Structure 1
């Protein structure tokens, strides 16, 4: 068995961050551990059944990392051929799972990356746009709220309001969905300072009464539409220590959990003109 597949034993599907991916993820995990030679085949079968596409409309599939031609940019290859180079490790496992959960968002990210590479090449610095796209792809969480005051608390680092005073709002007026596959990989070994980059989405109040499947579909469509057109910089994200999210970590039931300013740092207050919510 691949050394990378051994790590698949460590996934705890009961956690708040892995549970949204559990239905498909458990099956892939079982194949990786019991029939590792068929792992890529399992991903490919799911891709064919889904009829999903990548950034330029090529049918989604998964290829071994060794099949990526030397000197070819990863994102450009995916856009041109549909083939996502995939290693036998947790990082690429979570990346593939996100392709199936948020196919429109992943396709838009891929399309924009491919366009930026075609325009600027792959040498030297990536630039602000590609940095923001990579940040979203690797480390984003989607913060969904129907109450602008909660979004403001996040942007202003008002952790007491967001996590203590407004604790009852979680699941009713705000929630977080994990997205970045590097962040998911880090959460195999959770630590207090683990921080995601929150992309803020305004949702209608009824969003919180929908099924999880309907919520995911709405987020995939809505975030993809915004990402397709929005100028992107890292300033559009708000840092969010994810183990502070109510329901994500048992220790945060004690409000003293948030007293650690090494993690829950103080931030400057922002004016109304600076508070950015990418969706309205």
Structure 2
């Protein structure tokens, strides 16, 4: 998931989403989509929302969605540069990936703006055709990112050691009482893949120690903007989302024992400490 919207090379590598008419609207009741419930009509209506509909439903100060057509691309600008300099978010018609991207822009504009600003900083240094590890980290978070809030720091060693059954099953109550929680899903590629229920998705997580979801999300936006995080993809913690209590219909011992999904910790792998809620 390393390409930007409109990158044809990336499209060939991406998950192929099902046609709109073949998507069961019930999939949008999954917890992964909880923060986007207010705009569920954009996802479940029989017809695709057009650009004017998106701009009316998802107003963004200083930004707007623009149809990605030949006229738009004639400016020759990089996708990220166009957003920064013209406020135009290139959006393909009848495209799940870009529709979910629009929803994330509306729900988390500070995070998306910070990601865009950092990408543009690196583009200015590297040029439009080369990518460094920081750009890879920014893109991975943009495509597959989740923000996890941890109120109880005693849970982190379980995650650090990939002790998945302990983190998810033995500590299931902490996922329900707020000891640990998915504070935000920002990865639009994750949402696209969730169109097929039952897929075993892995989020790329930034962790914040705190008790308030909104404050933790704001802290991540601040940290991205300041260049405190996302300098390398290895900063991102893998989170097998199907293990989160209530996020998959089967969560028994045999399920948590699937080592090809709940992968053991690689030798030498270390994760950064969490950010702290301000």
- TM-score, reference length from structure 2: 0.82
Which residue of the other structure, out of 65, 81, 98, is the alignment partner of 2:86?
Answer: 81
Which residue of the other structure, out of 110, 113, 120, is the alignment partner of 1:107?
Answer: 113
Match of 1:17?
A: 32
* Bigger share in helix: 1
Q: What is the DSSP-based 3-state SS (H/G/I as helix, E as strand, rest coil) of the residue aligned with 2:30?
A: coil
RMSD (Å) for aligned C-alpha atoms: 2.3
- TM-score, reference length from structure 1: 0.82
Q: What is the DSSP-based 3-state SS (H/G/I as helix, E as strand, rest coil) of the residue aligned with 1:141?
A: strand
Q: What is the DSSP-based 3-state SS (H/G/I as helix, E as strand, rest coil) of the residue aligned with 1:13?
A: helix
Quote the offset at 1:270 in angstroms.
7.4
Structure 1 residues 178 and 130: CA distance shift in structure 2, 3 A: same
Determine the C-alpha separation between the residues in 2 that align with 1:70 and 1:175. 43
Match of 2:50?
A: 39
Quote the offset at 1:95 in angstroms.
0.5
1:110-189 to structure 2, matched below 5 A, reads 110-124=116-130, 126-171=131-176, 172-176=178-182, 177-189=184-196
Match of 1:277?
A: 273
Q: Return 5+ residue gaps in structure 2 as ranges.
A: 1-17
Q: What is the DSSP-based 3-state SS (H/G/I as helix, E as strand, rest coil) of the residue aligned with 2:159?
A: helix
Determine the C-alpha separation between the residues in 2 that align with 1:193 and 1:12. 14
The count of residues paired between Structure 1 and Structure 2 equals 252
Q: Return 5+ residue gaps in structure 1 as ranges.
A: 52-58, 208-214
Which residue of the other structure, out of 261, 274, 278, is the alignment partner of 1:263?
Answer: 261
Q: What is the DSSP-based 3-state SS (H/G/I as helix, E as strand, rest coil) of the residue aligned with 1:163?
A: helix
Q: What is the DSSP-based 3-state SS (H/G/I as helix, E as strand, rest coil) of the residue aligned with 2:74?
A: coil
Quote the offset at 1:96 in angstroms.
0.5
Structure 1 residues 270 and 167: CA distance shift in structure 2, 3 A: farther
Determine the C-alpha separation between the residues in 1 that align with 2:165 and 2:44. 41
Quote the offset at 1:145 in angstroms.
0.5
Quote the offset at 1:13 in angstroms.
2.0
Structure 1 residues 143 and 64: CA distance shift in structure 2, 3 A: same
- 1:198 counterpart = 2:196: no
